[in-house]
Amino acid sequence: MTTGSGTASAPPEATPPAEASAAARPAAEPPATARPPAARRGSYRRLSVEARRAELLTAALGLFAHRAPEDVSLDDVALAAGASRPLVYRYFPGGKQQLYEAALRSAADELELCFAEPRSGPLSRRLSRVLDRYLAFVDKHDAGFSALLQSGSVVETSRTNAIVDEVRRAAAEEILLHLAVKEPGARLRMMVRTWITAVEAASLIWLDEEKQPPVEELRDWLVDQFVAMLTATATTDPQAARVIRAALIMEPAEGLVGRLARRVVPALGEASHLL
């Protein structure tokens, strides 16, 4: 897999001296106390270049998920991967910056997949499934997600910002596909991108509030926000009006949109004097 920095893959790994000498020793296992530290952690595994690189990225992602990037060292990554610091440098000669960008690219690819959803069934159900995956990602990568979106990391660069913005744009494009318009106008695009921003902000606040309310309530509230924003946009934008009319036809009375309508109507009754 290529990284955001475009560095070529490392050459195939050579067989370590310890492994070569092991072939000449008798088959009997030496006592555990006589083994070198690496052997006590587990026997050396010969992996392909891509497999070893993926292993290092997985270890890095696990650390970046729960700690800010500046709090993770190459030694931490090497320890988590059961490797050595020189091996990490071999695959990521640019050091932690290159490793972080590669890990971020991998996480971004995973995050973009959260928004891929078959375009069938009520829109609210599709949005719910998208948000289930997105919020599961946020939950899994809590500290790393916060550091990424709050732009507080010392390893932030124009390349990392571009990766994050790419995810936002890809998410918006996926949502627009569900609205079934061939050429979305400026207002509809703005509304969808504003909702994506609101989802990000709500996710950060949710983490800051120790993941309260329960994730199912947060998901439903975010779907409500989408419907409300689309409804408001439809009052001044004919394209959005056509979209919401088509979407409402497919919504069941007992679904999220039906429940929202039954909550909104009594609330608006208090504003009858405005009509």
Q: What is the pLDDT of residues 117-150, one digit of tens each?
A: 999 999 999 999 999 999 999 998 887 777 666 5
Predicted pLDDT at 229:
97
Give the ranges where 68-214 is alpha helix by DSSP (H). 74-81, 85-91, 96-113, 123-140, 142-149, 158-178, 186-208
Weakest mean pLDDT among 55-64, 134-143, 265-274: 265-274
116-265 fold: Tetracycline Repressor; domain 2 (1.10.357)
Confidence of residue 230 (pLDDT cuts 50, 70, 90): very high
φ and ψ at 217, to 5 degrees?
A: -70, -40
**Sequence ranges of the domains in the chain:** 48-103, 116-265
Tally of helices (H runs) and strands (E runs) in the chain: 13, 0
- Biggest CA–CA distance in the chain, Å, is 94
Predicted pLDDT at 177:
93
Omega before 213 cis (within 30°)? Answer: yes
User: Using an 8 Å Cβ cutoff, are 156 and 100 in contact?
Assistant: no
Weakest mean pLDDT among 5-9, 198-202, 263-267: 5-9
**Superfamily of domain 48-103, CATH level 4:** Homeodomain-like (1.10.10.60)
Least Cα distance to 5 among 158, 159, 153 occurs for 159
Name the range with the highest mean pLDDT among 39-48, 134-143, 199-208. Answer: 199-208
Q: What is the pLDDT of residues 151-166, one digit of tens each?
A: 545 456 677 788 888 8
φ and ψ at 199, to 5 degrees?
A: -65, -45
User: Using an 8 Å Cβ cutoff, are 99 and 158 in contact?
Assistant: no
Confidence of residue 27 (pLDDT cuts 50, 70, 90): very low
Predicted pLDDT at 62:
85
State the Cα–Cα distance between residues 268 and 260, nearest whole angstrom: 12
Predicted pLDDT at 146:
74
Predicted pLDDT at 18:
42
Mean pLDDT of 209-221: 96
Confidence of residue 267 (pLDDT cuts 50, 70, 90): confident
Predicted pLDDT at 89:
92
Least Cα distance to 244 among 198, 191, 200, 201 occurs for 191
Q: Which residue has the tokens 């010969």?
A: 46
The residue type of 50 is E
DSSP letter, residue 48 = -
- Answer yes or no: pTM beyond 0.85: no
Nearest-5° Cα angle at 186, 229 to 174: 70
202, with CB counted inside 10 A (0-12, 13-18, 19+), is middle
User: Using an 8 Å Cβ cutoff, are 202 and 222 in contact?
Assistant: yes
Predicted pLDDT at 25:
45
User: Using an 8 Å Cβ cutoff, are 72 and 66 in contact?
Assistant: no
What is the CA 275 to chain-centroid distance, rounded? 44
Per the model's pLDDT, the better-predicted residue between 275 and 245 turns out to be 245
CA-based end-to-end distance of the chain: 60
What is the CA 4 to chain-centroid distance, rounded? 16
For all residues of the chain together, what is the average pLDDT? 81
State the Cα–Cα distance between residues 63 and 77, nearest whole angstrom: 7
Q: Which residue has the tokens 């026997």?
A: 43
